[in-house]
Structure 1
Amino acid sequence: ARRVAAVRAFGRWLAESERLSGNPAAALRGPRRGRTLPHWLERDEIDALLAAPAGDDQRARRDRAILELLYSTGMRVGELVALTDERIDLFGGVVVVRGKGRKERLAPVGGPAVRAIEAYALSRDAAHGRQKRRSTFLSLRGRPLADRDIRRILLRAIQVAGLSTRTTPHTLRHTFATHLLKAGADIRAVQELLGHASLNTTQIYTHLTLDALRAVYAKAHPRA
Structure 2
Amino acid sequence: MHVADAIEEFQREHKARGSTPRTVKWYGETLRRLLKDHLSENVEALTPFTLSRALNIAGERGIRPATLANYDRALRGFTAWLHGVELLPRDPMKAKKRPVVRWQMKQVATPEEIRTLFELARRDKRYADRNCAILALLAGCGLRAGEVASLKLTDVDWHGSAVKVSGKTGERIVPMDRTTQRLLRRYVTHGRRGNHPNVFLFSGRPIKAMTLTHLLSRMSDRAGFTRRITPHLLRHTAATTYLRNGGDVASLRRILGHATINTTALYLHLVPEDLQTKLERFSPLASAGVK
Asked if structure 1 preserves the Cα contact closer than 8 Å seen for 2:108 and 2:237, the reply is yes
Which of residues 204, 213, 234 in structure 2 aligns to 1:172?
234
1:186-197 equivalences under 5 Å are 186-197=248-259
Letter in 1 for 2:269: H
How high is the sequence identity, in percent, across the aligned residues?
32
Task: Give the Cα separation in 1 of the matches to 2:242 and 2:97.
Answer: 37
State the match for 1:104 in structure 2. 171
Gaps of 5+ in 1: 1-26
State the match for 1:200 in structure 2. 262
**Aligned partner of residue 206 in structure 1, secondary structure:** coil
1:126-165 equivalences under 5 Å are 127-128=193-194, 131=195, 133-139=196-202, 141-165=203-227
Gaps of 5+ in 2: 1-94
State the match for 2:184 in structure 1. 117
TM-score by length of 1: 0.75
Change (3 A) 1:33 1:147: same
Letter in 1 for 2:167: G
The alpha-carbon deviation at position 134 of structure 1 amounts to: 4.0
The alpha-carbon deviation at position 179 of structure 1 amounts to: 0.1
**Deviations for 1:128-177, whole angstroms, at most 9, x for unmatched residues?**
3xx3x2421011x2111111210122123323444342421101100000
State the match for 2:40 in structure 1. none
State the match for 1:22 in structure 2. none
1:60-75 equivalences under 5 Å are 60-75=128-143
Change (3 A) 1:142 1:34: same
Change (3 A) 1:68 1:52: same
1:27-106 equivalences under 5 Å are 32-55=100-123, 57-101=125-169, 103-106=170-173
Task: Give the Cα separation in 2 of the matches to 1:151 and 1:193.
Answer: 21
Task: Give the Cα separation in 2 of the matches to 1:176 and 1:153.
Answer: 19
1:207-222 equivalences under 5 Å are 207-218=269-280, 221=283, 222=285
Asked if structure 2 preserves the Cα contact closer than 8 Å seen for 1:93 and 1:108, the reply is yes
Asked if structure 1 preserves the Cα contact closer than 8 Å seen for 2:150 and 2:198, the reply is yes
Asked if structure 2 preserves the Cα contact closer than 8 Å seen for 1:57 and 1:123, the reply is no
Task: Give the Cα separation in 1 of the matches to 2:236 and 2:126.
Answer: 28
Task: Give the Cα separation in 2 of the matches to 1:99 and 1:45.
Answer: 27
Asked if structure 1 preserves the Cα contact closer than 8 Å seen for 2:221 and 2:228, the reply is no
**Aligned partner of residue 95 in structure 1, secondary structure:** strand
**Higher RCO, 1 or 2 (CA under 8 Å, sep at least 6)?**
1
TM-score by length of 2: 0.59
Change (3 A) 1:137 1:31: closer
**Deviations for 1:95-119, whole angstroms, at most 9, x for unmatched residues?**
0111114x11111111221121122
**Aligned partner of residue 205 in structure 1, secondary structure:** coil
